[in-house]
Amino acid sequence: MAAFLALGTVRAMSGYLDHVELLTGDASQDVLDAMRAQKDRIEQGLRERGAVLLRGYGATDPNTAAESLNVLGGGLLDDAFWSTPRSGVTGKTFTATEYPKARTIALHSEMAYMSGWPRFLAFHSIDVADQGGETSIANLDQVSAALGPILDEFATKGVTYRRTYRAGIDIPWQKAFQTEDPKEVESIAAKNGMRATWLPDSVLQTAHDAQGAVKAEDGRWLWFNQAHVFHVSNVPAQHRKMLSDMFGADQLPRDATYGDGSTIPDDVVKTVHKVLTEHTLPVQWQPGDVLIIDNMRYMHGRLPFEGTRKLHVAMSTGHSEPVRTPAFG
């Protein structure tokens, strides 16, 4: 779902099955029927562990991701301001981010670059890659503790995100805002606290501010932003220089600064990626798996792969309070 290239080589921690609530069945039972029958256990698993994996059940409906969240309630959400390429499937089910196979998608919290985000995500594995393609997850509490003083500065200053939508580079503004009408873009931007500026040749620039961290139930700060995803240091140095020479350093496709306008040093972003790599748990998919995570408990990403990989995704339960409240509280 949004993200740029992660840095470093993934070092898997202990197996992901040690970190999720696992429910197993057989293909003769539909996964949605199983969820309805075990709804209390699933909710308990999300409260206590932050992630639930349903494995072995019948799960062939392409809308399974959305319908699984419907079982839990809370209301399905659209993928507003698409940050990365994806496609709609049916209803409010989407494909996972459609980046090239060789790319790693950095761990991130869904829509943490906005001031409102989904609390729950569902992933439905349809086709499993021949090699690789695991969805990476990481415990947000553990990541936040490991970031130390870096987290404090983000919590204090917040993050400003800047994007320049230019034809042929990154996704077009028409895709991001789901409209062809510039006036509608301006209206959507204004409603969501974005500053929109039109440049020559229908180039759109946006800037908006969002939180750098949110608080846990006990008041601890939790990393909750996508500065490490948007930051210009993700672009290889030679491409970064080329883009700066062509368009200017203030018109790069994406960038992030601290909320006070000061620069986020490259070394800070490098450290964030290092911590994320050290906390990566690759989920080894089986066909028909359904994984539900609490977006404020687990980050997610994707590892490179070979072959065909198809994963459907849905989101639910809007959350805008900068505090992680108990799930299903």
Q: Give me the percent of the chain exceeding a pLDDT of 70.
A: 91
Sign of CA dihedral 117, 121, 318, 77: positive
Q: Does residue 7 form part of some domain?
A: no
pLDDT at 113: 95
Residue 147: both structure tokens together: 């970031």
**Amino acid at position 183, single letter:** K
pLDDT at 79: 61
- Note whether 57 and 25 are within 8 A (CB): yes
Q: How many domains does the chain have?
A: 2
> pLDDT per residue over 64-76, tens digit each?
999 999 999 989 9
CB atoms within 10 A of CB 174: 16
**Amino acid at position 159, single letter:** V
Domain residues for the domain of 157 are 145-272
Residue after which a domain boundary falls, among 272, 292, 307: 272
> pLDDT per residue over 128-152, tens digit each?
999 999 999 999 999 999 999 999 9
Regions of the chain where pLDDT drops below 50: 1-14, 85
pLDDT at 2: 42
pLDDT at 95: 76
Regarding whether 117 and 23 lie in a shared domain, the answer is yes
pLDDT at 91: 67
pLDDT at 184: 94
> pLDDT per residue over 278-287, tens digit each?
999 999 999 9
- Note whether 32 and 67 are within 8 A (CB): yes
Q: Does residue 59 form part of some domain?
A: yes
- Note whether 157 and 260 are within 8 A (CB): yes
pTM metric for this prediction: 0.91
pLDDT at 247: 87
Regarding whether 67 and 106 lie in a shared domain, the answer is yes
- Note whether 216 and 322 are within 8 A (CB): no
